[in-house]
Amino acid sequence: MSGPDAALPHWETPRLKDLTTWDSAWAGLRVVVAGIGASGFSAADTLIELGAVVVVVDGGATAANEAKADTLRIVGAHEVLLGAEYAERLPLVDGVQADLVVTSPGWRPTQPLLAEAAAAGVPVWGDVELAWRLRERAGRTTPEWLTITGTNGKTTTVGLTESMLIAGGKRAVAAGNVGTPILDVIRDPQGFEFLAVELSSFQLHWSYSLSPLASVCLNIAEDHVDWHGSYEAYAAAKASVYERTRVACIYNVEQRETEAMVEEAEVVEGCRAVGFTTGMPSVSMLGVVEDLLVDRAFIQQRKDSAAELAAIGELGEVVPRHLVANALAAAGLVRAAGLPAAAVRDGIRSFQPGEHRIQVVTNEAGVLWINDSKATNPHAASASLASFQSVVWIAGGLSKGVSYDALVQDHAGRLRAVVLLGEDPAPLLDALRRHAPDVPVSLHPNLHTGHGDDGEGSPDPTTGDALMQWAVAEAAGLARDGDTVLMAPAAASMDQFSSYAHRGTAFMAAVEARGLQGTTAKES
């Protein structure tokens, strides 16, 4: 390419660069949508509404996908292609090469269709990039974006941010990697004043032009190396959340890597760096004084005073350190947006957390049972383990290529025993043998073989609910007065469960089936 458009980045072309509002010239744009899940379906539906010529591709020819395909055909999709063979190549759109590919976040850059698009110079966007370009629409409120990423704590922080915004009288909603697909939010008839946008590393990888009011990377630790190809690539995707931020980049004082991300980001002139810490805050930070969350960043007298935001105890019955950090990060975002301290307090009080994040199942016979199925990597599990003194740990699952050595080293002293899940328990088992050789480990006799038949007509004990019943029974036999039985797997769930929610529900059901049911507390 030569001329004024020669320097266009890989996500732009002369046809795409002016598509920056809902009312831009989208009609006739030839688009391939990769994936027909929640985000892909929403992207295809939106583009059809805009008048684009849309071809949808998904490798799974399932009944659920066929039903979605029928809906998209009815509303005007040019073509819907289902089956593994279609995901191996970039299809033509109305007989010619596509102008754009919009990919679902789970599709890796090395996936053949996406790799072919890149090689052919066809830009690849994610649904978040598309949503950003569509946020401005004549006759509707243009929402401000508060963007949240991090290895752990995203969903809790997004929920707290949404709750604080609503408590402050704003029309706001959580979107992105949680809850409603972001393009469905963009199409809301009334519009929103603020979006609390959870962004995974996958979504950030496919986003290029976002310019949020405020942004935060809560923390960073090894995760999703299998998708990104390296930890460095994963960290770079997370760091991109700060790019083009306009008012405040919120960072974790206790993790230098996040501060370095802010230092290296290209932000809008005048944007501030604001830290959060679970300790005493310095100037331009939010933190903790005694049992209070306080702000020394968004007040005029920050050099010698702090504004009280809320009491720590208002976060719930069990308040681990990382929940305090999440609340402070959310407070930083909404304070950057101009909300008063009272909105932080009221938002915390009204926050209704989801399940499976340091969720108290019961406290019976001196043993506390905790469901933290959302702890899908070592960093999240470390935060859970650090919250308790003597733990019977139920752990293991799909490891995603991470190392467990540091996790076990850091917490070996608090482990009474470990009960292992996972079709391949070897990575965690090896770490336990190296760094906690004296800690008893319970391993189902069939887990390492993949053979699960424990008798004619019996369920496979190495998968799903039956395995969890065995694990809870093992933990109950190992726990003593004063212990916590903590189900914080440090791994994904998809080898033996349909999702982390299924895994957590199976754990709670198994605990309740043993007569251990009790009251449920707020989660982290």
pLDDT tens digits, 13-30: 999 999 999 999 999 999
Is the confidence at residue 31, as pLDDT, over 90?
yes
Three-class secondary structure of residue 77 per DSSP? coil
Q: Where are the domains of the chain?
A: 30-130, 140-350, 359-513
Of 292, 300, 334, residue with least CA distance to 144? 334
Lookup result for tokens 């998968």 = 463
What is the residue whose two structure tokens read 């684009």? 52
pLDDT band of residue 227 (cuts 50, 70, 90) is: confident
Look up tokens 């251990």; give the residue: 516
CATH of domain 30-130: 3.40.50.720
The pLDDT score that the predictor gives to residue 422 is 86
pLDDT tops 50 at residue 386: yes
Q: Which of 106-120, 172-186, 328-342 has the lowest mean pLDDT?
A: 172-186
What is the rounded average pLDDT for all residues in the chain?
A: 90
Q: Which residues pair with 101 in a beta bridge?
A: 32, 124
Non-local CB neighbours of 334 within 8 Å, separated by 6+ positions: 146, 161, 164, 165, 168, 343, 344, 347
pLDDT of residue 303 exceeding 70, the answer is yes
The CATH T-level fold of domain 140-350 is UDP-N-acetylmuramoyl-L-alanine:D-glutamate ligase (3.40.1190)
In words, the CATH class of domain 359-513 is alpha beta
Distance of alpha carbon 415 from alpha carbon 245, whole angstroms:
42
pLDDT bucket at 519, cuts 50 / 70 / 90: very low
The helix (run of H) or strand (run of E) holding residue 30 is strand 30-34
DSSP category for residue 95: T
173-177, 298-302, 348-352, 517-521: least confidently modelled range: 517-521
**Residue entry with tokens 């916590």:** 484
Residue 520 has pLDDT above 60, yes or no: no
> Which letter does DSSP use for residue 296 in this model?
S
Helix/strand/coil for 61: coil
Q: What is the pLDDT of residue 354?
A: 67
Alpha carbons 254 and 24: distance in angstroms, whole number: 44
For range 305-326, the mean pLDDT? 91
pLDDT at 1 over 80: no
Six token digits for residue 8: 């266009």
